[in-house]
Amino acid sequence: MYSDRIRLPSLLEKIMSADEAAALIQDGMTVGMSGFTRAGEAKAVPLALAKLATSSPRKISLVTGASLGNDLDKKLTEAGALARRMPFQVDNTLRKAINEGKVLFVDQHLSETVEQMRSKQIKAPDIAVIEAVAITEEGHIVPTTSVGNSASFVAEAKQVIVEINLAHNLNLEGLHDIYIPAARPGRGPVPLINVDDRIGTKAIPVDPAKIAAVVICDTPDSPSTVTPPDDETQAIADHLIAFLEREVAAGRLTKSLLPLQAGIGSIANAVMCGLLKSDFSGLTMYSEVLQDSTFELIDAGKMDFASGCSMTLSEECGKRVFGNMEKYKDKLVLRPQEISNLPEIARRLGIIGVNTALEFDIYGNVNSTHVGGTKMMNGIGGSGDFARNAHTSIFVTKSIAKGGAISSVVPMVGHVDHCEHDVDVVVTEQGLADLRGLAPRERARAIIDNCVHPDYRAALNDYFERACAKGGQTPHILREALEWHINLEERGSMLAKG
């Protein structure tokens, strides 16, 4: 039994229940788990750990690739099992605990977590818990729908728990390309030159003696929660595609563009869907998460190849893709997030990066993470890895939120994740501002004229003009710079009067 999934016979003896495996996780341990954007997370052991922690309290530092599905962050938080969490999350319950200071959250560039572990600057996992479709004859681990940080967690951890998830089809095998940069000093270039280059192995290498437990489970990934395009996201997509068409017309890009990177979420997904109806062809992706839109572009013959570190699909798209993996396999690769997000590669390839802003200010500084300057939403994710190193770094958002109580374009952002140097283009449903080569005062003019919702335009214009009268490279009136956020906090709307 399970010999097609666990091909090194000695490891069949390591099969145990999730409860037994979870008991290996002690209070105070650092645990590295698979999982990236609700794809490929270990499922049975974290659930058993949450149960165990309720009766036998233990708090861990949980490090993952990115967000987990199946409400695992919720359940672990409710069980009081999380002391620390990094580098990304999207769960409501955990988010609340983070913002209350009950769980310490370390928000990191997603390419950097395992680099810091490798150089012993942050603690390596005591235990790695990795979801797999199979274990090879050599005892190596074949990941599922994400690679995330799993390969480096396995390399750095003292012990490894493998979850064989029968809900994943064995046909995922061969999809992955596992490459870990060498330690420093002495590291060479990462030898990836084309989006479809394979530079590593198809499974995660590990000394089988390190595998302490094998757990069988049969729970699917949570489906994607991305919503279909609406009028605003469609307008954003239209502005962006018109911009790309102008770039082609100006000879700065060809009709296959450059490798596309799109952050997760409904806006970026709408932008990618917009490419379906465009004249571009021979497109490629070099991104983190492959969403429904990636497969729609492949199916439509618009996209030749997509490289990611996870696949997060809707139920319907998942059926189509996972049920026909052989059709997609030569057009796909999943890499460790350190490689999918590596600055070296993003710059070498010259990606076109499309990421979602929570808000941006009139000078093009972007807040991706903190509501009202203080409360964590999800984390910076890979946006910083990509934005700084992109050929063209694009941020998208709807111009207003909460029925107009919030303008996504503000005098000064309450928190900066991407400074103006890293932001080339900003887009809302109102329009697009091309900021390349502009000084801050010119950037402000372009943003106010093109991106701001009409309800807020006069107020921003007024702020900017009075700020310019005071002077400075980046004119501000410090007494008013954060007033819109204060209004929102105190009166429920950015333009409310006292």
Q: What is the set of active-site residues?
A: 288
**Residue list 81-100, contact with its own copies (CB under 8 A):** 84, 98-100
Among 149, 424, 444, 494, contact with its own copies (rule: CB under 8 A): 424
476 binds its own copies (CB under 8 A): yes
478 binding its own copies? (CB under 8 A): yes
367 is in an annotated binding site: no
Q: What phi, psi does 401 have (nearest 5°)? A: -140, 170
33 CA to centre of own chain: 16
Our finding on whether 436 is near its own copies (CB under 8 A) is yes
The answer to the question of residue 250 lying near its own copies (CB under 8 A) is yes
382 known ligand binder: yes
Q: Which is nearer to its own copies, 419 or 458 (CB)?
A: 419
Q: Within 41-80, which residues bind its own copies (CB under 8 A)? A: none
Check if the beta carbon of residue 178 is closer than 8 Å to that of residue 149. no
Q: How far is the CB of 161 from its own copies (least distance, A)?
A: 23
Cβ pair 146, 311 in contact under 8 A: yes
> How far is the C-alpha of 121 from the C-alpha of 116, rounded, in Å?
5
> If binding is defined by CB under 8 A, does position 482 make contact with its own copies?
yes
Q: Is the peptide bond before 454 cis (omega within 30 degrees of 0)?
A: no
Pinpoint the alpha helices (H) of 176-252.
231-249
Which residues are CB-neighbours of 98 under 8 A, at least 6 positions away? Answer: 85, 89, 104, 105, 376
Report the residue from 65, 274, 384, 411 that binds its own copies according to the rule CB under 8 A: 384
Q: Which of residues 133-162 bind its own copies (CB under 8 A)?
A: none
Count the residues of the shown chain that bind its own copies, applying the rule CB under 8 A. Answer: 85
Question: Of the two residues 42 and 258, which places its CB atom closer to its own copies in the complex?
Answer: 258
205 or 440, CB closer to its own copies?
440
Say which amino acid occupies 350: G
Nearer to its own copies, 287 or 430 (CB): 287
17 binds its own copies (CB under 8 A): no
336 or 414: CB nearest its own copies: 414
Count of helices and strands (H, E) across the chain: 19, 26
Q: Which residues from 208-237 bind its own copies, rule CB under 8 A?
A: none
Which structure tokens are listed for 167? 């809900």
Q: Which stretch binds its own copies (CB under 8 A): 13-21, 49-57, 190-198, 305-313?
A: 190-198
- 416 contacts its own copies (rule: CB under 8 A): yes
Residue with tokens 């962050």: 73
3-state secondary structure of 135: strand
Cβ-based nearer residue to its own copies, 124 or 309: 124
> Using the rule CB under 8 A, which residue among 3, 249, 403, 437 binds its own copies?
437
Among 122, 240, 313, 433, binds its own copies (CB under 8 A): 122
Q: Does 496 bind its own copies (CB under 8 A)?
A: no
Distance CA 189, CA 182 (A): 10
Question: Residue holding tokens 């999943």?
Answer: 334
Considering only 439, 455, 466, 496, the residue that binds its own copies (CB under 8 A) is: 439
CA distance 426 to 404: 19
Residue 449: φ, ψ to 5°: -70, -30
Dihedral sign for Cα 235, 238, 242, 244, please.
positive
Element at 55 (helix H, strand E): helix 44-55
Binding residues for CoA: 378, 382, 402
Binding site residue list: 378, 382, 402
